Amino acid sequence: MKIIISGASGFVGGALVTHLRQQGHHVTALVRREPTDRAIEARWEPAAGDLDPAIISGADAVINLNGRSISQGRWTPVVKHELRSSRLDATRTIVDAIGRAAVPPPLLLNASATGYYGDRGDEVLDERSAPGEDFLSGLSQKWEATAMGAQSQSTRVILARLGMVLGDGAALEKMLPPFKLGLGGPMGSGGQWWPWIAIGDVVGAVDHVLDHEGIRGPVNLVAPEAVTSKGFARALGEYLGRPAIIPAPAFAIKLALGEMAEALLLSSTKATPKVLEDTGYRFNAPTLAEAFRQILG
């Protein structure tokens, strides 16, 4: 396949580009600098709405992962603006290019997040569940609505609602040092549900939706094993052979990280991968124990 991808330099994007090229697909990464190799890179300016539709025309799929990381620092008004603009500007630019392409791609896979559902306690959430009401939920709703502008008879849109992605980097990399010292533990009460997925299943799920033309709309990219913050800490501690009983008090987390802490660490989202399971996807790492084995070795 001919695949165009934005956000290729990120944790998920880098793994996906490597995987897709190993599968024999031709992948072009959108970059905001002068391309070093025009055979595999193409320049765009998402903030300015500049993307040549000829780059998109004839592609089999466009994958949009563009967006500033939501976990880098407190959500000040400036950071919130950057979180919105980095996602919405890029998505509008891609949707506009798809609309102007001579041969529109049959698929736009646009990143989103399980933050769409907000803080929902023990409620089981699938792709039909209603959205939440906090900042992250509102951002996800706007992001998805913008991406849906590309949906037509010739282009299907998939909204990939990602949980916490575990791999050799990102969230797990930040957690490991205290856990290896025996200082890890649950966040806050520990009773909040954390949706997660191993990086190998992110790329596996992308393969799956590329091959299943009937899949469209929201898809929860989360593992089938639901775990709480306390359960996550226990599983990681057991794998490392270290105690994991020292909780991080909610007030201290909020004091350090503000609104970001409430949305990412202390909220409860029990999301399930209904669409993936209903369409026959088989997870490579359905449990945390298996994910840690694959990632940490």
Question: Whose structure tokens read 């392409």?
Answer: 101
Q: If pLDDT is split at 50, 70 and 90, which confidence band does 169 have?
A: confident
Output the pLDDT for position 153.
87
Output the pLDDT for position 65.
98
Q: If pLDDT is split at 50, 70 and 90, which confidence band does 170 have?
A: confident
Domains and CATH numbers, the chain: 2-296 (3.40.50.720)
Output the pLDDT for position 136.
96
Residues 47-67 pLDDT 10s: 999 999 999 999 999 999 999
**H helix runs in the chain, sequence order:** 11-22, 53-56, 77-100, 135-147, 170-180, 199-211, 229-240, 250-257, 259-261, 274-278, 288-296
How many angstroms separate the CA atoms of 173 and 32, rounded?
A: 27
Global confidence as pTM: 0.95
Residues 232-255 pLDDT 10s: 999 999 999 999 999 999 999 999
Residues 103-147 pLDDT 10s: 999 999 999 999 999 999 999 999 999 999 999 999 999 999 999
Q: Could you tell me what percent of the chain has a pLDDT over 70?
A: 100
pLDDT at 42 over 90: yes
Angle (deg, nearest 10), helices 229-240 and 170-180: 60
